[in-house]
Amino acid sequence: MSEDKPATAEQADARPLEARLEALLPGKLLKSPHPSTGPAYEVRAAELLEVARTLREGEGLKFEMCMDVAGVDYLEYGRAEWKTEHATVSGFSRGVARARIPGDAAGTTLPGRRFAVVYQLLSISLNQRLRLKVFCPDDAQPVIDSVTGIWASADWFEREAFDLFGILFRGHADLRRLLTDYGFIGHPFRKDFPLIGNVEVRYDPERRRVVYQPVSIEPRVLVPKVIRHDNRYDPQLTSTPSSELKQP
């Protein structure tokens, strides 16, 4: 009868993940609301590399894999264009083109809290997940350290965040655009980027090639369609034989 192998130090640590994080990273992580996928924490940009290295190598943590890196733009976060739960007595009055209201605190962002980068980490050996968020200190030129030296899988993820959000990753070996076309101007996932874009492409029969030109779509705000009750699908009508229906 074979004997069981002794448990490793990580497997023998029965403390919750939150306690292990506090023991190895005291005061460096700020707990944030998290979904059901696992705990989520925020880290200061200056301490990102130190925290990331500890998360990968620390006993009881062992987050060997970076599953995803995503950029976030919190510009006007919390301001909704529509009342989506129900229509008010005034109808969909906000479905119009509107200017920013001076002094309106709703939807404004604090300095250094506009752009964020979110890391989805996985420990294969310990079967645990962690979400890590870091805010870029400078809103005008968002820059944070690259974690490619810790997780090589973050390479193209960081390029994608740079391409779509304009977030620069200090120390990245090949920070080029990944998804947009050559010569593309701007970063399309930023909240202040126009939804219709800046240029459009078409085939020019005279030049016999595809050419760029200023976008021809007129900007407008779509008004949602109000769906009213349809009497054709009223259960009282569909379940009643036609002979019993009252004729007008």
Model confidence at 2, pLDDT cuts 50, 70, 90, reads: very low
Region at 63 (left for phi over 0; alpha for psi -120 to 50; beta for the rest): beta
Give me the residue spans of the domains in the chain: 9-74+109-177
Among 167-176, 188-197, 212-221, the least confident range: 212-221
Q: Please give the helix or strand (H or E) that residue 52 lies within, else none.
A: helix 48-57
Model confidence, pTM:
0.73
β pairing state of 199-204 and 209-214: antiparallel
Cα 235 to chain center, whole Å?
Answer: 42
pLDDT of residue 117: 98
* Contact yes or no for 199/213 (Cβ under 8 A): yes
CATH superfamily of 9-74+109-177: NADH:ubiquinone oxidoreductase Nqo5 subunit (3.30.460.80)
* Contact yes or no for 148/58 (Cβ under 8 A): no
**DSSP tag of 242:** G
Instruction: Give the CA distances from residue 219 to residues 101, 180, 193, in Å, rounded to whole numbers and listed in that order.
Output: 20, 22, 12
Instruction: Give residue-wise pLDDT tens across range 167-191.
Output: 999 999 999 999 998 888 899 999 9
Instruction: Give residue-wise pLDDT tens across range 7-43.
Output: 454 454 678 898 999 999 999 999 987 666 678 999 9
Distance (Å, whole) CA 226 – CA 247? 30
Distance (Å, whole) CA 146 – CA 164? 16
Instruction: Give residue-wise pLDDT tens across range 92-138.
Output: 444 444 444 444 454 567 888 999 999 999 999 999 999 999 999 99
